[in-house]
Amino acid sequence: MLFHDTPLSGAYVLEPQPSHDERGYFGRVWCAEELAEHGMNATWVQSSISFNDQALTLRGLHYQAAPHDEVKLIRCTSGSVFDVIVDLRADSVTYGRWFSVELSAENNLVLYVPKGIAHGFLTLQDHSVVEYHMSEPHHAECACGVRWDDPAFGIEWPSPPAAMSDRDRKYPDVEDTR
């Protein structure tokens, strides 16, 4: 696997290095030893998927607050998404900055998201499926979010969303979460 730095401290794009033959290919999506060698969490206690029927569906920006803040490993297994992370760690040198990457079934990229970073995505194709591995079980009382279009972040989404939940639409600006 290749590990690519992002502009956000502690966040990485992982690129599998598959072996190809006449059947297709085989490759690792993640490896506990390799993650640990890079100082990354490699303990996953929960795995979830998100099926999104139509293109331009927006989910996010979500995070789980302390004491159950979590590390996430995210990949798109069908279709494609414009995946976004935003640094909400008050003590971070990259606080308030965002990063995006296209995750797709074709490119097989994986996004490693450390604790304290909000995550969201906009589907680019119908029938997109996003898979998450999390370091903490879901705790509803710690489930939080910030507004996807908060001007404090200035995220350059490729298109306005066509579908999103009321919960995501009603998240506050980051300044209102302090």
Options 62, 63, 119, 171, the catalytic residue: 62
Q: Is residue 139 one of the residues assigned to a domain?
A: yes
pTM of the model: 0.95
In a domain, 79, yes or no: yes
- From the CB of residue 3, how many other CB atoms can be counted at a distance below 10 Å? 14
100 in a domain, yes or no?
A: yes
5 inside domain: no
Which one from 12, 63, 132, 171 is the annotated catalytic residue?
Answer: 132
The CATH number for 158's domain is 2.60.120.10
Whether residue 156 lies inside any domain: the answer is yes
Domain count, the chain: 1
Kindly provide the b/e burial profile for residues 64-83, where b requires at least 16 CB atoms within 10 angstroms of the residue's own CB. Answer: bbeebbbbbbbbbebbbbbb
29 is a domain residue: no
Q: Is residue 87 part of a domain?
A: yes
Per-residue confidence in pLDDT tens, the chain, 178 aa: 999 999 999 999 999 998 999 999 898 899 999 999 999 998 999 999 999 999 999 999 999 999 999 999 999 999 999 999 999 999 999 999 999 999 999 999 999 999 999 999 999 999 999 999 999 999 999 999 999 999 999 999 999 999 999 999 999 999 888 6
- Chain center to CA of 49: 12
> Contact 73/163 with Cβ under 8 angstroms?
no
Residue 139 designated active-site:
no
172 found inside a domain: yes
Does the annotation count 132 as an active-site position? yes
Domain with 138, as residue range(s), is 44-177
